[in-house]
Amino acid sequence: MIRDHFRILSVDLAAGRGVIENLQGRDTVAGGSGLAAMLFEKYGRPGQPWDDPEQPLIFAIGPLTGYFPLMSKTVCAFKSPYHDQYAESHGGGRSALSLRFADFDGLVIRGKAPTPSCLSIGSRHLDLKDVHYLWGMDLLKTGKMLRRMYKGSGHRSILRIGPAGENLSAMACINVDTYRHFGRLGCGAVMGAKNLKGIVIMGDGTFPLPEGKDYPRLFAEVHRKMTDTDMMEKYHNVGTPINMAVLNGIRALPIRNLQKTTDPAMEGISGETFARDTLLRNAACAGCPVGCIHIGFVRERFMEENRYLYRQVSYDHEPIFAAGAMLQVTDAFSVLSLLDAVEREGLDVMSAGVALAWATEALEKGVLSTRETLLPFQFGDAKAYIEAVHHLGAASNDFYRLLAQGTSRAAGHYGGGDFACVLGQEMAGYATGEVFFISQALGFRHSHLDAGGYSYDQKSKEPDVDGAVKFLVQDERARVLLTSMVSCLFARGVYGEEILSDCLRSVGYTNLAEGIGRVAGTIQKLRWRARLATGFDPCAVSIPQRFLEIETWKGKLDEAYLAALKTAYGAAILGIAGGEGESDH
């Protein structure tokens, strides 16, 4: 039997104890993004800084987690060190299924552990272990140690941070089961501020599947849609890196700190090149038949011993854009080596790559000197960037400490704001035009996944402020529904509102299934309300000059269109947050 309430484990790190709370709201906020916003309303302290020990670090899964394919993500919510506002980051791996097997809809972590610690939870236990000996250890070695310390079955999920999180970098990620991440907006620093090196979720319980014929029939249909359509092929074969050549071909790939949008040298780091030369294997999040995770190899030679060490490194479009195109590193193996270095530090690769691209141009222009950067790095110099990544993770000096708080902050201090490629946070790998830039700059997560602005740009050539804003609002609403279930967004072509409604009904969430459209609006509003309560002001967002200088296949960027979009989308966001009557829960 499914529950009509949320079962939440609320942990107090200072006391080393937890309580289970049963909260109402399933029919109004569903789970995932909706549940996280509801939990932040309950536990968050909007007026207090992000590193106040009482700020919650929230993990939430959805009503369909464990029941249907690709319902494999967890929503992590927190007050972000990047902008001190409410934020979400999404990750997969085994985290969602482990929470489901541990019988929790959500995990709320408050307080600060007295010493560097690892929290382990399961259906029948909670344990906070002193792991001071792991503090300072790189993220990959930490993973090895935690796997040895916490033996478990396939339903064990390990979340951990690297030195960047310990150093409270606003670019610190939380790594999930090695190849997935809660990547953006600095949730790794929230763990660091709480003295948490790791979180181990033991999925050591069971959950019953619905009885009757409806559920297995629907499951088979959804599974067939996932595996029989071209989705499987598209994401499994070359995967998201296929975008590298496509965007380069239409002059929409950010290259060399967005000085260019196309370059024949990108052939060296195209998805096809990675697949041909570096790909070892594919992997998948738990509960996913697609397996979009591409794992390549890097080879390191130990001269004295005349032997080689092979390391496995995952890659996607975004990491290749950030560690490759933005830094003009055009050799696939060099990009993988750089990604490996970023992973060890526990940095968000998009922010780290874009920040270093800004620093390189600042060095070229004399805005910075090697007194700050410690290294004379240049575009294309992968070896120097590997060292720089270490400095960024370790916050080696005042410059790297400030850069780790965000490129805009460093540019605010040293200069060079005009060419800081920041849209709310360091940009994602699309230079498709006005709608995407506004979508990322104002979007809730400052992510290319908030709404499909990049695809809108590619489909519509003529400026249309009303049409674009309507699209962004509606697309966000549809995605928020998915991130409340919590589905991988790669499945958005399959999980339309009708199928989601059927899925909910088949597992017993009849009320939620009936009100799904209304619920999507409620969640959208709830999230924006939490964001605004923590200080977000769409009018204060500015778009750096560099974005106005680019040329895409459509020609020069239309500055007037960009400004009109910004005003109209900002007003729409304020309208969503202030709208009447849908957020009571």
CA 422 – CA 230 distance, rounded (Å) = 34
Q: Binding to ligand SF4 by residue 70, rule CB under 6 A?
A: yes
Four-CA torsion 418, 421, 424, 430, nearest 10 degrees:
140
Which residue number, 100 or 566, has a Cβ lying nearer to ligand SF4?
100
Q: What's the token pair of residue 402?
A: 């400030």
Which residue number, 70 or 119, has a Cβ lying nearer to ligand SF4?
70
Burial class (CB in 10 A: 0-12, 13-18, 19+), 244: buried
Q: Are the beta carbons of 57 and 76 closer than 8 angstroms?
A: yes
Look at residues 256, 448, 503 and name the one whose alpha carbon lies nearest to residue 360. Answer: 256
Strand pairing category for 74-79 and 156-160:
unpaired
Query: Which segment (283-291, 318-326, 340-348, 571-579) binds ligand SF4 by CB under 6 A?
Result: 283-291
Which residue number, 288 or 526, has a Cβ lying nearer to ligand SF4?
288
Which residue number, 275 or 435, has a Cβ lying nearer to ligand SF4?
275
Instruction: State the DSSP string of 82-114.
Output: TTSSEEEEEE-TTHHHHHHHTT-SEEEEES--S
Member of 170, 196, 290, 550 binding ligand SF4 (CB under 6 A) = 290
Member of 53, 136, 210, 291 binding ligand SF4 (CB under 6 A) = 291
Q: If binding means CB under 6 A, how many residues of this protein chain bind ligand SF4?
A: 13
Footprint on residues 87-106 left by ligand SF4 (CB under 6 A):
92
Q: Binding to ligand SF4 by residue 288, rule CB under 6 A?
A: yes
Look at residues 457, 442, 465, 464 and name the one whose alpha carbon lies nearest to residue 550. Answer: 457
Q: In the bound complex, what is the minimum distance in angstroms from residue 492's beta carbon to ligand SF4?
A: 11
Please name the residues in contact with 286: beta carbons below 8 A apart, sequence gap of 6 or more. 72, 92, 93, 94, 96, 97, 98, 154, 155
Member of 135, 207, 297, 490 binding ligand SF4 (CB under 6 A) = 490
Footprint on residues 515-554 left by ligand SF4 (CB under 6 A):
none
Q: Binding to ligand SF4 by residue 237, rule CB under 6 A?
A: no
Which residue number, 95 or 330, has a Cβ lying nearer to ligand SF4?
95
Query: Which segment (147-155, 163-171, 287-295, 504-512) binds ligand SF4 by CB under 6 A?
Result: 287-295
What track of x and - describes contact with ligand SF4 for positions 239 through 278 (by CB under 6 A)?
A: ----------------------------------------
Q: Binding to ligand SF4 by residue 179, rule CB under 6 A?
A: no
Q: What's the token pair of residue 502?
A: 């059927």
CA 407 – CA 319 distance, rounded (Å) = 17
Query: Which segment (101-109, 181-189, 196-204, 281-289) binds ligand SF4 by CB under 6 A?
Result: 281-289
CA 302 – CA 308 distance, rounded (Å) = 6
Report DSSP state, residue 347. B
Member of 59, 182, 235, 399 binding ligand SF4 (CB under 6 A) = 235
Q: What's the token pair of residue 271?
A: 């998805």
Member of 488, 500, 512, 523 binding ligand SF4 (CB under 6 A) = 488
Q: Binding to ligand SF4 by residue 210, rule CB under 6 A?
A: no
C-alpha atoms less than 13 angstroms from C-alpha of 233 in its C-beta half-sphere: 3
Look at residues 492, 450, 467 and name the one whose alpha carbon lies nearest to residue 565. Answer: 467
Q: In the bound complex, what is the minimum distance in angstroms from residue 390's beta carbon to ligand SF4?
A: 28
Q: Binding to ligand SF4 by residue 449, rule CB under 6 A?
A: no
Q: Binding to ligand SF4 by residue 61, rule CB under 6 A?
A: no
Residues of the shown chain interacting with ligand SF4 in the complex, contacts defined by CB under 6 A: 70, 72, 92, 235, 284-285, 288, 290-293, 488, 490
